[in-house]
Structure 1
Amino acid sequence: MELKQRLSFFVAITLCTCLANLAQAVAQELTLGISNSKLKPYRWVEKGIVKGANPDVVKEAAKRINIHIKILTMPWKRVLLLIKNGNLHGSIGGYKNTERLSFGIYTEVPLHYSYFSIFILNNTSFRFTTIKDLYGKRIGRLSGNHFSTEFDQAVVQGNIYLSEANKRHQLLTMLYTHRLDAVIDVNSPMKIALKEQNIDTIIDLPIPVSKPKASYLWFSKPAQIPPDIIKRFDQVLKKMLQDGTIEQITSRHGFEYNL
């Protein structure tokens, strides 16, 4: 009888250990979403491979803390929905706001900062310090881009003439043909696009239209990720910032991390 009790105890301990190890193994694998919209140098998909500064930073962080990650590309709205209901562990990239904080946990170190700039033909005289300097101007931007409530109000009031396009090259064509006085776009993606097209006749003004905004690696609260994993990501991202790894990755993709 005593032998049976010992065997039962041994089996129970072994089973608990196996279950604990299984849980730990599951906990070491995360499925992260990323928007499938192309936004070089931050993210894009090339021949089925996710590329860009954001995924490269996260991949390096995961490698350092021995966490296996699976990256799924999908429309941004779906990323948000799956994070909100806990069917996705997290997202590579995303701004922080009140709504998302209700169902998301953000790492402390941003993956990158972005801001909007004014782009003009380099032989153009154009002064900008405040939104009022844009009054009477014909400004172009990509559909869906919003960077200033004051700017939007000026458009509604008829003080700024706004033209929107779905593609960046459409805005550049309108600028070249003098149908626009300027284009307002996210600084780094526009500069990358100009470089890839060997365009050196369009420049950005030194004063940005918006303040830098941080994009983060963040996680789903409903997914109930072990707090230790999120803490380890926080720690390794801080280390990567301190040792210059993040700056090296962003520089490799053609932009500076520190503004």
Structure 2
Amino acid sequence: MLQLLTRILAMSACILLLAYNNAKAGADLYVMAEESTPPYAFVEHGIKKGIDHDIIVEAAKRMNIRVEIDMVPWIRMYKSIETGVCDAGSVFFHVKERESFAIFTNPPLHHSTYSVFIRKDSKLEYSSIESLYGKTIGVSRGYRLNNDFKEAVERGFIQIEETNNISMNIRKVMAGRLYCMVANYDVTMLELSRAGLRGQLIALNPPLLERKPLHFVFSKAGRYGNNKEFIAKFESTLDAMKNDGTFKRIYDRYYAKQ
């Protein structure tokens, strides 16, 4: 039985790797983006879309290259950037330790705020990270939040439960299985609206992580890791899109729906 399971897992890994290699081979730029993160990257009625998705597609169009964007769990994207399975990823906070495997581009694709969300009937009195001590908190798997939160988790003051998507954490908080959750403010508000739960889960102030830029990155182990000319052209294309109002038009298209 164990041998059969091992064989099945090995075959699944090979199939997945083959799919990635085929996608990479068929595109000039093979990108991974975090799945199910509206308004940034998501699938609606079978169509990939979102702020980051649309910016990347438009940049590729202007550069006259074919781009393939796969939406996957964030931790898979992270590992794929480390190993060069994909050429690039969307999106990352600029953290010093990630410079060993990622090349951060500018301008950032968007800025995000991360908040603590609780049920509206919660009695939590929140003012700082210390208010969360002794609590079990839902977070997305592999996310790097601020240093205070990271240290509190490492020292055992806060317990975390990791999931692959925000909607699962929303369900856990609403069911009382988690005391609260930490997540991207815009993504969470959209997910709450979709689930008919807006107003049932509320964001606390101050945010855990204030508005901070998120960047498109190239994998140093990928096809363009040493191609400074290509990366510079991609950055100049993004810069031109921001200056001519394309970024704003794309933002407005999605934020108007919130």
Question: TM-score of the superposition, structure 2-length normalised?
Answer: 0.69
CA–CA distance in structure 2, aligned partners of residues 89 and 142 of structure 1: 23
**1:190 corresponds to:** 188
Contact 2:139 2:163 in 1 (8 A): yes
**1:147 corresponds to:** 145
Matched, 1:53 2:51: yes
**1:117 corresponds to:** 115
**1:245 corresponds to:** 246
CA–CA distance in structure 1, aligned partners of residues 147 and 159 of structure 2: 15
* Structure 2 counterpart SS, 1:251: helix
CA–CA distance in structure 1, aligned partners of residues 67 and 183 of structure 2: 32
Gaps of 5+ in 1: 1-28
Bigger Rg, which one: 1
Gaps of 5+ in 2: 1-26
CA–CA distance in structure 1, aligned partners of residues 243 and 101 of structure 2: 29
Runs of 4+ in structure 1 deviating by more than 6 angstroms, as ranges, are: none
Query: CA 1:228 to 1:176, structure 2 compared with 1: closer, same or farther past 3 Å?
Result: closer
Residues 38-117 of structure 1: pairs in structure 2 closer than 5 A: 38-46=36-44, 49-73=47-71, 79=77, 88-117=86-115
1:188 Cα shift?
1.7
Residues 140-219 of structure 1: pairs in structure 2 closer than 5 A: 140-155=138-153, 159-160=157-158, 162=160, 168-178=166-176, 180-199=178-197, 200-219=199-218
Query: CA 1:38 to 1:170, structure 2 compared with 1: closer, same or farther past 3 Å?
Result: closer
C-alpha offsets along residues 48-75 of structure 1, whole Å, 9 cap, x if unaligned?
A: 5432211101111222343332334556
CA–CA distance in structure 1, aligned partners of residues 241 and 151 of structure 2: 41
Contact 1:109 1:238 in 2 (8 A): yes
* Structure 2 counterpart SS, 1:235: helix
C-alpha offsets along residues 88-112 of structure 1, whole Å, 9 cap, x if unaligned?
A: 4333333334454344433211112
CA–CA distance in structure 2, aligned partners of residues 165 and 102 of structure 1: 26
CA–CA distance in structure 2, aligned partners of residues 230 and 142 of structure 1: 29
Task: Count residues in correspondence.
Answer: 228
CA–CA distance in structure 1, aligned partners of residues 150 and 80 of structure 2: 31
1:147 Cα shift?
1.8
Q: Which moved more, 1:148-157 or 1:47-56?
A: 148-157
1:84 Cα shift?
5.3
Computed over aligned residues only, the root mean square deviation of the Cα atoms, in angstroms, reads 3.5
C-alpha offsets along residues 171-228 of structure 1, whole Å, 9 cap, x if unaligned?
A: 4344335555432222122111101112122221231112444322232445247544
Task: Report % sequence identity.
Answer: 30
CA–CA distance in structure 2, aligned partners of residues 143 and 137 of structure 1: 18
CA–CA distance in structure 1, aligned partners of residues 108 and 133 of structure 2: 34
Question: TM-score of the superposition, structure 1-length normalised?
Answer: 0.68
